Amino acid sequence: MLASRIPVTGYAYQWTSRLANPVLGWIIGWVSFSFLAIVVVAVDYTIAGTVLPVLLNYEGTTLNAALITGVVVLCQAALVSQSTRWTERVNNAAVSAELIGMVTLTALLFIVAAIRGQADGDNLFSKGALPDADFWSFGDWNTAGPWMLGFLLGSFTIVGFESAANLAEQTNDPERVVPRAMWQAVLASGVLGFLFLLAVTLAAGDPVALAQSGTPVADVIEKVLGSVVSTLLLIMVVLAIFACGMVIMLTGTRLTWAMARDERFPGWKVLNKVSPRTHTPFNATVFYTVLALAILAVFTSVSSNALFTLFSAASLLPAIIYASTVVLFIVKRKSLPASDKFNLGRWEIPVVVVAVVWLVFELSLFRDSSFKETWLYVLAMMVVGGIYLVALLATRGRAALAMPEMTSIDAEFDREANVS
């Protein structure tokens, strides 16, 4: 609903700044930036830490996973910084491969496991190696039960659909296209992801033994489908994850550029530039890449379980963003600009109610003590952002946060290119 009414690069930052106030909008923008900076690392670490060790048959370690992740980040940055058109082409090809691969993989797992008698319905109700005590418990003030924590899988996998809103200014008819792209992405990932997890669980074999593996999903695929088929499908998975990280990087650089364009991001005089050669925010891309590599280095050096911490932070931060956006929509829904291109109609209230219930439940799970390092990252990023915000207000006053008129990113690119 907000995407159809305020189709401007910067999504939640723009929505909150224009409908609530610029100070709150800046805070949400910084939270969004903090999320996008870490989620690209989390996604790319998946390639290096869980898929490639099985695909190339080597032992995965923290060091080689970090090095490979860094190389993947640099490759994505090269594409994003040099050509938006080629980034789009690579993404479209990878998404097509992902859809074909996931549908094929899911169908084959169901069929082959059933034919070979490898599908075990008891796995759907198994607790694995976890104790029966408190399995279903909601927990206490600093713990959450295993079944409850399982919901966080959806918090990470069904995320990032707002990236479409962050590219609104580079989309034809964004008021219609962007909101439809968002709900279609959620529906497709939700349905297909659920079926895939169902197939993997049925074919998992002994869940206790499988839990000892660092690459359990890949192991199930190889066991059921054999090495040749699993290799081909794992290659598709690598391409899909690469494209996912690339889009996240594209989104992060556009958000950085949008805040710098509004003169409210550290180093905005440098980061708001557009390359006259590539017509991309090259400086913002370089900055975002360097920060992502720094986050990778810190997390892999200080965290005993880097992948868990990265994924946790990449789940907590969007939950904060989504909760803020939903609350803002509830408060401002009757005063939003009119739109005749996208409307939920009678489904608006039910969708909002479900969203509120889910987000309250999701955020409550992060009280578990296992997320201590996750909260430390959030706290560190908020301190950095807070220092800059106070300095900005002290030196330039609240007038520095006044929102400029909504202009197209293409016009800005052309202006910058001509000036340069």
| CATH at 327 | 1.20.1740.10
Judged against a pLDDT cut of 90, whether residue 293 lies above it is answered with: yes
CA distance 188 to 102: 11
Per-residue pLDDT of 110-124, as tens digits, reads: 999 999 888 888 888
- Alpha-helical segments (H) within 56-173: 62-82, 84-115, 146-149, 152-157, 163-166
pLDDT at 228: 82
CA distance 219 to 221: 5
Domain count, the chain: 1
CA distance 391 to 395: 6
Q: Give the residue among 37, 27, 28, 106 at the shortest CA–CA distance from 249.
A: 37
CA distance 388 to 244: 30
Helix (H, G, I), strand (E, B) or coil at 280: coil
Query: Token pair of 157, please?
Result: 């996998």
Q: 169: pLDDT confidence band, cut at 50, 70 and 90?
A: low
Q: 290: pLDDT confidence band, cut at 50, 70 and 90?
A: very high
Per-residue pLDDT of 99-112, as tens digits, reads: 887 888 889 999 99
Mean pLDDT of all residues in 263-282:
85
Mean pLDDT of all residues in 181-190:
82
Q: Is the pTM of this model over 0.85?
A: no
Contact (Cβ atoms closer than 8 angstroms) between residue 166 and residue 251: yes
Q: What residues contact residue 174 under an 8 Å CB cut-off, 6+ apart?
A: 3, 7, 168
Per-residue pLDDT of 312-347, as tens digits, reads: 887 888 888 889 888 988 888 887 777 777 877 888
Judged against a pLDDT cut of 60, whether residue 11 lies above it is answered with: yes
Judged against a pLDDT cut of 70, whether residue 287 lies above it is answered with: yes
pLDDT at 303: 66
Range of the domain at 91: 2-419
